[in-house]
Structure 1
Amino acid sequence: MNSLTSDRIRDHATKLGLTHLTESIGPLVDRAEQAQLGYLDFIDLLLGEEVGLREGRRFRNALRLSGLPHHKTLDDFDFAFQPDLDVRKVRDLATLEFARTKSNVVLLGPPGVGKTMIAVALAVAACQAGFSIYFTTLDDLVRKLRAADTTGRFNRQLATYLRPAVLIVDEVGYLPLDRAEANMVFQLVSRRYERGSMIITSNKAFTEWGSVLGDDVLATAILDRLLHHCDVININGPSYRLKDRFNLTTGGETMP
């Protein structure tokens, strides 16, 4: 390919916003010649490179804005440490059928068993597949909704939690809510019902949500909508946070 042609291609690519092509046209042509690609295969290579670059940029930006506490995947999760966990069910959730059908996922169990890590891993997978995601703790969500309500911006703030295709709400049950706060949670769950997915983690059984939400009637209404289309995973194993400090086999503290 002569320099005049390559310069013209780079100029066209710049005008079209194909930034990767302006820098990589030479190496791509070399790859095409070595592989003896036909015209259509070469066009496929060019477009695939550009799409891959843009998807990677979108994925990184989406993760940065998602509020996730980390970006670990299911490959980072130690399933062997939780032998009673249904690995097949978790892997099935990672296919993201729940996000496509706008159903929910609830992860239940005591603190430290990996609920948040699985929730984050599912969120990362959803983000990589092109779904919009957002992570928040219940405490932070309610605090922001309450602050917005005092200034007449409740609906605007609520809309930020309605917009993502997958909303992750962590730590339900760690702090009790009053009735006004529980009503805000009800409005959120009700508005997202069959319109978007939620991934929720909680250290409380569903029978305890009435005391957490400060109102049995509201708790029932929330659970009715949340669980209508929902996968529930119970994790009842040991705490990851203690596994390096305690010898879980003998029950004693690990010697330094």
Structure 2
Amino acid sequence: MTELMRETDKQLKDMAERLRLCMLRDNMSELMNMATERRLSPRELLMFLFNKEIEQREVNRIRLTTMGAHFPRLCSLESFDVNAQPALEPGLLRELSRMEWLETAENVIFVGPPGVGKTHLAIGLGRRAIELGYSVRFFTAANLIAVLSKAKQDGSLVHKINQLQKFKLLIIDELGYLPFDAESAALLFQLISKRYESRSTIVTSNRPPSEWGLVFGDPTAATAILDRLLHHCTPVVIQGDSYRLREGVKQQKIT
């Protein structure tokens, strides 16, 4: 590389820095060499460089948004073993994966015993939503109630509910594993009511909705919450063997 080329690359990097084109700034020489090898025309060169910058920004956006969603682990819809749950209709999963229900503020409820993949599917749909540009936040039901209870105690409940309202998709995992008192049910009702017909919510539960009155200890609150969740909703019942138990059996056979 000649001294003139080095100086030109430095100037280009400085310009990219001023324009906040980080991908171009950090990879200027490599990208220019690739463009030269491909003998790109001026228009093709611009298209090539801009596409590289956009691709990197999209990767960064997905990474940061995924971190902000606070998923307990990373799961994808593609890695879900549909064959292991024959009662689950593959066509329904394909329909949900198109995420059209987010635009109409519809909800999804996954119901089934522990270990059948409810959380896996909820996270998978959450990640698909992020890829499409939507904001997502994940909570276990217990953690969500703890957050709302703390906000109520310090006088910031309205602010906290408004914050959670901004997420296009809210995932509430493991509803039904621990009982809630009347105050917790009231807090959850306020949040669900705020999001009603404006934002989507995914709920996973080991109990069918008919038993949610037992979860909340207040049939009235349970009915009010269910009315809003189920009004525009796709319920998905998963019946089958536990993934965790099946993997445990496999490991025992191997050893």
TM-score by length of 1: 0.91
**Correspondences of 1:1-256 after superposition (within 5 Å):** 2-246=5-249, 256=255
Distance between the aligned counterparts of 1:106 and 1:74, measured in 2? 16
SS of 2:234's equivalent?
strand
| CA displacement 1:208-255 (0-9 Å, x = unmatched) | 1122122222222211111122111110111111103348xxxxx858
Return the letter of the residue paired with 1:102. A
Name the one with the larger helix percent: 2
Seen in structure 2, the aligned counterparts of structure 1 residues 22 and 255 have a Cα distance that, compared at 3 Å, is closer
Return the letter of the residue paired with 2:23.
H
Give distance in 2, aligned partners of 1:101 and 1:184. Answer: 24
Q: Spell out, residue by residue over 1:126-184, the C-alpha distance to the aligned partner (whole angstroms, 9 max, x if none).
A: 11221111110111111221122122121222233222111100011111212221111
Q: What is the root-mean-square deviation in Å for CA atoms of aligned residues?
A: 1.9
Deviates more, 1:31-40 or 1:123-132: 31-40
User: How many aligned residue pairs are there?
Assistant: 251
The farther-off stretch of 23-32 and 202-211 is: 23-32
Work out the CA distance in 2 between the residues paired with 1:142 and 1:225: 18
Paired with 1:35 and 1:94, the residues of 2 have a C-alpha distance of: 38
Cα distance, 1:33 vs structure 2:
3.4
5+ residue gaps, structure 2: none
How big is the shift at 1:20? Answer: 1.3
Aligned to 1:113, the other structure's residue is in SS state coil
Does the 8 Å contact 1:63/1:71 carry over to 2?
Answer: no
**Amino acid in structure 1 at the alignment position of 2:74:** H
Asked if the contact 1:13–1:22 (Cα under 8 Å) also holds between the matched residues in 2, the reply is yes
Per-residue deviation, 1:36: 3.6
Percent of matched pairs sharing the same residue: 37
Hey, what's the Cα distance between the residues in 2 that align with 1:178 and 1:85? 33
C-alpha separation between the residues in 2 aligned to 1:231 and 1:109? 14
Q: Give the letter aligned to residue 61 of structure 2.
A: R
For 1:52-104, what per-residue CA distance to the aligned partner results, in whole angstroms no more than 9, with x for missing partners? Answer: 11121121122222110111211221212111111221122112112222211
Distance (whole Å) between structure 1 residues aligned to residue 35 and residue 131 of structure 2? 28
Q: How does the TM-score come out when normalised to structure 2?
A: 0.91
CA distance in 1 between partners of 2:113 and 2:46 (Å): 53
Q: Which ranges in structure 1 are unaligned for 5 or more consecutive residues?
A: 248-252
